[in-house]
């Protein structure tokens, strides 16, 4: 590296190129919450109205499941079947191409269309993000002057197209909306009085409201399209529709029904606080830049609101990017704090501003260089890559500190500036290369980890490794010559610099004396080191474990469940009771809800973290206590999951078997009871509930035949009156909406009323339904769940305060071993699936990283023994010290902590490399093993303390940080700060002892080599 000292312009230009590339990349790089990943599922929905759940499952769900399982890239398939509806979800593996999977699935579904029963609608396939239970944005729409149907029509025509054109938006849904519909409210009394059957009404609507393609006329000069008025458009048109003619007149639809332009049947209601609303749900594409979408959405809303009708307004009810923005802001603040702290530490320890400039200039060059490489590798600026940059600030100054301290030492010995720079660059080439490559390669195994952990942390690892590599380049090229020109020559240092130097000189002398005395207790030190190192095992086993710490995202999701068979209107008063109770608190800002029949999903938006005295983790039990007081519905509060994984609950265990749902029910209840008894859960429940009231029509086939009819004709007439199915569609201002005949509510508000409906026989007579059918009341499952084509139920829950998802899931697994028969199989979904698949993946990576470090050091030292000195004398002790903090409950063993341990291996090994490399050099110069290790430890004490102080204080803001994203940064910060402090203390005394016990003895090695050469020479003479 002499060329960079002799030609300093070359070193400067190289650094300027790195800076320029980084500035250009920083201007263009995308900003996301997490690294761009595609985590998708294919949701196949099939409606088969009026059919029992058992029939739908057998005839619809089973064949669709079979096809979905064969799609390449599918991880698992689950299904949920209810009366009249089948939902099959194919969960794709991470980063599978959802477009290709969708195309393949659509093709294969078309091949089995002949297997689906007549009357079932064609399967509808949608691509859904698995990392979000709902949309990213919910827009609250208010328009007092419009009906719900009118507002829905307006939004569909005028607003949704503008929002759907935003780049990166996957779909726009209207939640709580109602499309316009032509409602034909049949009056059974009038039908009977005029001897009209519902089948005649259905036929009249079907045959007289048609689209007529009449064609055109043409001659040699021109052509004319033939149009007609065969399509009915207004309620008056439908009222005048003739159903039946007779001598002297006819019966019109208006004579037997009330016709109105009303609203279609709804499956959801939207609510904000205590009011009903319509939500515009905006869902970005998987991997899309949600912050950019949010920025564009806010801009377009300003323009849209300016042109809305009087009294209408659209506002943001829920913005899923607020936490991302806050978290990114907080981590940038942490980055600034880290740079300032590292700068202060370097300035104080170097003793002068001029000498501190050398390591400080490395920070912007390394950061900008890593940003340039991030863009080259296709990475984004996200929470994890910025966290990597924050961590790199405390690391990239290390090499430069070593260089400037070494140059200063040689200048104090009387050498000229250029001589000091040349000697230092030659002396430090090997150790800096070793330290840089060691720390960079520590992260390499992370890039080959599968699943969500590898996908997320690959960018983190490679960004941090890149910053370290660039800092090494700067340390070898720019730092030596820069040190030579900024450092004061011997005797010219300032007073503060001289005091700092004298302090380190005194500290070095005292340290060498203490080290010499410690060598009298080598066996005791070695034994103590072994015991401390072995504590790693119990510390790890008894540490709380989870996939990732739960973050304060200023929101709590609310998942509601109503009694079986309840309607949308049933939930409203109970939800209002819960909402009023929560809003009475001082921290809740607003509450939004999407209500379905029997269930609901929503959330509480809290005021900003800085305005609250309690975190959402502390508020969660209070909210649960309030919601538990609501009797009519069950509402479960859950915190948003910290990683982009599937599922809504912290624990989700799946139980599979070939048994019937009735046989499985008892085991589900036993598991729920055992989970509560474990005290690991705040709440726990199962999705298997057999409590839905059902009424079964038992037809008298003989009686139907005697009346000259068949079952199909009877079912058709009954369906027309009660199934709320469309006959066809009508034209409303260029859009087609449904025509729906249905008896008035008063004639179908209970099951017995349906039995009094009139059925028209083949001979024109009307007979009540109860003459040809009887009624049986039964209880059935709310839904029929399957997992990988087997009957299944789920146990899900929220963990108790102070617990972790691993502890709760382990308690549930233990209960399953005791409760379930041998032919029952457990599996996992959502967060639990990731926890069991990848919860300890970084532990294996840590082992691989240590092995990689050993191989690199073996090459560097040209020895298999010296790397053992570095690793045994530093790594196990640092790991044990850091693990003691997870053991004491100051943080959990999660993937962020595991990343901290991997980083710690590289950092603490650097200290060992500095001492061991120099000791070996001194031995080769003729010093004894004892003298070499004492002098090496003394000389390297100052750079080790300086780099450790820079690392510790550089990472200390991570320990103290609060607000958005604080939990994960606290976790990695605690591990690094504790591990470095404890590990450095141990390294300074244990590593020299290990060196004396197992390190290379170059004097003996040289003597042996000399003897061998003498023997060889004697042999040649003979």
Instruction: Mark which of 751, 780, 809 sits at the end of a domain.
Output: 780
| Residue 930: inside a domain | yes
pLDDT at residue 487 is higher than 70: yes
What pLDDT does 847 receive? 84
Number of structural domains (the chain) is: 3
The pLDDT of residue 1020 is: 53
977 and 873 share one domain: yes
- At 1008, the pLDDT band (50, 70, 90 cuts) reads low
Same domain, residue pair 526 and 577? no
**983 with 862, same domain?**
yes
Neighbouring CB atoms inside 10 A of 978's CB total 23
Rounded-to-integer distance, Cα 808 and Cα 650, Å:
9
Strand (E) or helix (H) holding 816: helix 805-819
**Does residue 657 fall inside a structural domain?**
no
| pLDDT score, position 1004 | 65
Sign of CA dihedral 813, 815, 818, 823: negative
DSSP strand pairing (773-781 vs 40-47): unpaired
Confirm whether 12 is domain-assigned. no
Q: Give me the pLDDT at residue 710, please.
A: 92
930 and 1015 within one domain = yes
How long is the chain? 1022
Residue 964 maps to a domain: yes
Helices (H) and strands (E) in the chain, counts: 36, 30
Query: Span 538-553, mean pLDDT?
Result: 87
Rounded Cα distance between 432 and 359, Å, is 14
Q: pLDDT tens across 213-264, in order? A: 888 888 888 888 888 888 899 999 999 999 988 877 899 999 999 999 999 9
Secondary structure of residue 995 in the 3-state scheme: helix
Q: Within 377-494, where are the H helices?
A: 383-412, 417-442, 451-477, 479-486
Provide the pLDDT for residue 1018. 47
In a domain, 416, yes or no: no
Burial letters for 178-213: b for 16+ Cβ neighbours within 10 Å, e otherwise?
bbbbbbbbbbbeebbeeebbbbbbbebbeebbeeee
**Statement to judge: residues 871 and 941 lie in one domain:** yes
For residue 313, pLDDT over 90 is answered with yes
Mean pLDDT in residue range 991-999: 88
- Say whether both 529 and 615 belong to one domain: no
Q: 855 and 1003 in one domain? A: yes
Last residue of a domain, one of 747, 780, 813: 780
61 domain-assigned: no
Closest CA to 290 of 42, 91, 30: 30
Would 851 be classed as within a structural domain?
yes
**944 with 850, same domain?**
yes
- Do residues 181 and 149 make contact, with C-beta atoms less than 8 angstroms apart? yes
Taking the C-alpha atoms of residue 879 and residue 862, their distance in angstroms, rounded to an integer, is 26
Q: CATH code at 864? A: 1.20.1640.10
Angle between helices 322-350 and 353-376 (to 10 degrees): 150
CA dihedral for 989, 991, 996, 997, sign (positive or negative): positive
**What CA–CA distance (Å, rounded) separates 734 from 770?**
43
Residues 305-309, mean pLDDT to the nearest whole number: 92
Confidence band of 1003 (pLDDT split at 50, 70, 90) = low
pLDDT of residue 636: 94
- CATH code of the domain containing 753: 3.30.2090.10
Q: How high is the pLDDT of residue 491? A: 47
CA–CA gap between residue 818 and residue 67 (Å, rounded): 35
One domain, residues 991 and 861? yes
* CA 753/CA 27 separation, integer angstroms: 70
Residues 845 and 763 in one domain: no
Listing DSSP states for 823-882 in one string gives T-EEEE-HHHHHHHHHTTHHHHHHHHHHHHHHHHHHHHHT-SSHHHHHHHTTHHHHHHHH
Contact between 345 and 968 under an 8 Å Cβ cutoff? The reply is no
Q: Band of the pLDDT at 928, cuts 50, 70, 90?
A: confident
Range of the domain at 249: 180-210+229-263+693-780
Whole-number pLDDT of residue 497: 75
Q: State how beta strands 758-760 and 735-743 pair.
A: unpaired
Please tell me the distance from the alpha carbon of residue 426 to that of residue 188, in angstroms, as a whole number. 101
> Binning pLDDT at 50, 70 and 90, where does residue 1012 land?
low
**Is residue 817 assigned to a domain?**
no
Per-residue pLDDT reduced to its tens digit, 19-52: 999 999 988 888 777 888 878 899 999 998 878 8
**303-314 mean pLDDT:** 92
**Gyration radius from the chain CA atoms:** 37
Angle at 769 between CA 716 and CA 209, to 5 degrees: 30
How many whole angstroms separate alpha carbon 531 and alpha carbon 101?
A: 54
Q: Cβ neighbours of residue 117 under 8 Å, at least 6 residues apart?
A: 48, 59, 60
Choose the final residue of a domain: 780, 802, 817.
780
Specify the range with the lowest mean pLDDT, choosing from 62-66, 238-242, 966-970.
966-970
Task: Note the pTM of the prediction, 2 decimals.
Answer: 0.83
932 and 860 within one domain: yes
The CATH number given to whatever domain includes residue 562 is 3.30.70.1430
Closest CA relative to residue 548, chosen from 384, 681, 385: 384
3-state SS of 311-358? Answer: CEEEEEEEECCHHHHHHHHHHHHHHHHHHHHHHHHHHHHHCCHHHHHH
What confidence tens digit (pLDDT) does each residue in 145-197 have?
A: 899 999 999 999 999 999 999 998 988 999 999 999 999 999 999 999 999 99
Confidence (pLDDT) at 1: 62
597 and 705 belong to one structural domain: no
Q: How many CB atoms sit inside 10 A of residue 99's CB?
A: 11
């Amino acid at each position: 590296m002499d060329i960079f000292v002799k030609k300093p312009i070359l070193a400067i230009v190289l650094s300027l190129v790195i800076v320029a590339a980084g500035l250009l990349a920083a201007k263009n790089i995308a900003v996301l919450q997490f690294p761009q990943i595609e985590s998708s599922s294919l949701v196949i929905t099939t409606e088969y109205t009026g059919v029992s759940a058992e029939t739908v499952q057998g005839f619809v769900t089973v064949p669709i499941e079979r096809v979905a399982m064969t799609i390449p890239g599918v991880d698992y398939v689950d299904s949920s079947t209810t009366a009249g509806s089948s939902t099959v979800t194919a969960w794709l593996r991470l980063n599978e191409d959802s477009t290709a999977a969708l195309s393949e699935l659509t093709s294969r579904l078309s091949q089995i269309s002949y297997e689906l029963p007549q009357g079932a609608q064609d399967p509808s396939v949608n691509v859904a993000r698995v990392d979000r239970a709902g949309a990213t944005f919910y827009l609250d729409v208010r328009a007092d002057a419009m009906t719900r149907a009118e507002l829905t029509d307006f939004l569909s025509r005028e607003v949704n197209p503008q929002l759907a054109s935003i780049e990166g938006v996957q779909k726009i849904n209207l939640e709580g909306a109602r499309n316009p519909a032509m409602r034909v409210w049949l009056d059974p009394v009038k039908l009977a009085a005029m001897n009209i059957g519902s089948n005649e009404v259905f036929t009249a609507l079907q045959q007289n409201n048609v689209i007529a393609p009449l064609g055109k006329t043409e001659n040699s000069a021109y052509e004319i399209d033939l149009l007609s008025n065969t399509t009915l458009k207004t309620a008056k048109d439908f009222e005048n529709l003739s159903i039946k003619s007779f001598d002297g007149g006819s019966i019109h639809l208006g004579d037997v029904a009330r016709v109105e332009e009303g609203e279609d049947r709804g499956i959801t209601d939207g609510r904000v606080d205590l009011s009903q609303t319509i939500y515009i749900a905006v869902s970005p594409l998987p991997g899309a830049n949600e912050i950019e979408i949010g920025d564009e959405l806010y801009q377009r809303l300003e323009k849209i609101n300016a042109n809305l009708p009087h009294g209408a307004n659209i506002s943001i009810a829920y913005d899923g990017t607020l936490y991302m923005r806050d978290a990114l802001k907080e981590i940038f603040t942490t980055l600034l704090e880290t740079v300032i702290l590292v700068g202060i530490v370097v300035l104080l320890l170097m003793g002068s501003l001029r000498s501190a400039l050398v390591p400080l200039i490395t920070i912007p060059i390394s950061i900008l260089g890593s940003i340039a490489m991030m863009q080259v590798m296709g990475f984004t600026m996200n929470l994890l890559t910025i966290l990597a940059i924050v961590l790199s600030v405390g690391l990239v100054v290390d090499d430069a500190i070593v260089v400037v301290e070494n140059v200063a030492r040689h200048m104090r010995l009387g050498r000229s500036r250029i001589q000091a720079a040349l000697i230092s660059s030659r002396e430090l080439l090997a150790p800096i290369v070793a330290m840089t490559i060691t720390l960079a390669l520590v992260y390499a195994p992370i890039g080959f980890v599968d699943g969500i952990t590898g996908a997320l942390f690959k960018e983190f690892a490679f960004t941090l490794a890149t910053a370290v590599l660039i800092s090494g380049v700067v340390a070898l090229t720019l730092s030596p010559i820069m040190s030579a020109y900024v450092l004061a020559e011997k005797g010219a240092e300032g007073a503060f610099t001289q005091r700092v130097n004298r302090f380190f000189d005194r500290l070095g002398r005292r340290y060498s004396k203490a080290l010499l005395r410690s060598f009298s207790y080598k066996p005791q030190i070695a034994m103590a080191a072994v015991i401390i190192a072995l504590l790693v095992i119990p510390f790890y086993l008894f540490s709380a474990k989870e996939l990732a710490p739960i973050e304060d995202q200023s929101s709590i999701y609310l998942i509601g469940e109503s009694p079986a068979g309840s309607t949308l209107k049933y939930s409203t008063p109970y939800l209002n009771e819960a909402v009023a109770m929560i809003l009475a608190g001082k921290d809740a800002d607003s509450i939004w809800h999407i209500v379905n029949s029997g269930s609901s999903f929503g959330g509480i938006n809290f005021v900003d973290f800085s305005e609250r005295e309690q975190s959402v983790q502390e508020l969660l039990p209070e909210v649960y206590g309030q919601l538990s007081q609501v009797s009519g519905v069950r509402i479960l509060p859950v915190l948003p999951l910290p990683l982009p994984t599937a599922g809504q609950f912290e624990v989700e265990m799946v139980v599979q078997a070939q048994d019937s749902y009735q046989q499985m029910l008892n085991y589900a209840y036993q598991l729920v009871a055992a989970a509560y008894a474990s005290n690991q859960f705040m709440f726990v429940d199962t999705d298997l509930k057999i409590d839905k009231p059902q009424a079964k029509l038992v037809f008298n086939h003989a009686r139907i035949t005697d009346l000259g009819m068949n079952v199909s004709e009877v079912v058709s007439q009954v369906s027309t009156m009660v199934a709320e199915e469309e006959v066809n569609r009508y034209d409303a201002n260029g859009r087609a909406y449904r025509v729906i005949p249905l008896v008035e509510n008063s004639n179908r508000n209970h099951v017995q009323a349906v039995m009094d409906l009139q059925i028209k026989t083949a001979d024109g007579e009307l007979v009540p339904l109860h003459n040809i059918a009887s009624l049986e009341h039964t209880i059935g499952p709310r839904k029929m769940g399957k997992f990988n084509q087997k009957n299944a139920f789920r146990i899900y829950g929220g963990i108790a305060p102070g617990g972790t998802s691993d502890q709760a899931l382990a308690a549930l697994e233990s209960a399953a071993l005791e409760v379930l028969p041998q032919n029952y199989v457990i599996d996992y979904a959502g967060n639990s699936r990731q926890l069991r698949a990848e919860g300890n993946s970084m532990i294996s990576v840590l082992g691989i990283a240590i092995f990689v470090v050993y191989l690199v050091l073996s090459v560097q030292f040209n020895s298999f023994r010296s790397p053992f000195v570095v690793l045994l004398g530093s790594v196990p002790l640092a790991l044990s010290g850091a693990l003691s903090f997870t053991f004491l409950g100051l943080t959990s063993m999660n993937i962020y902590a595991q990343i901290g341990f991997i980083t710690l291996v590289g950092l603490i090994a650097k200290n060992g490399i500095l001492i061991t490399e120099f000791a070996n050099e001194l031995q080769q110069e003729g010093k004894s093993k004892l003298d070499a290790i004492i002098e090496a430890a003394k000389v390297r004490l100052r750079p080790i303390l300086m780099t450790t102080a820079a690392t510790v204080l550089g990472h200390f803001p991570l320990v103290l940080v609060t607000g958005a994203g604080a939990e994960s940064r606290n976790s990695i910060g605690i591990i690094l700060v504790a591990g470095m402090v404890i590990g450095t203390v141990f390294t300074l005394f244990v590593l020299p002892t290990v060196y004396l016990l197992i390190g290379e003895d170059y004097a003996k090695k040289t003597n042996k080599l000399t003897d061998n050469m003498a023997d060889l020479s004697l042999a040649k003479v003979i």
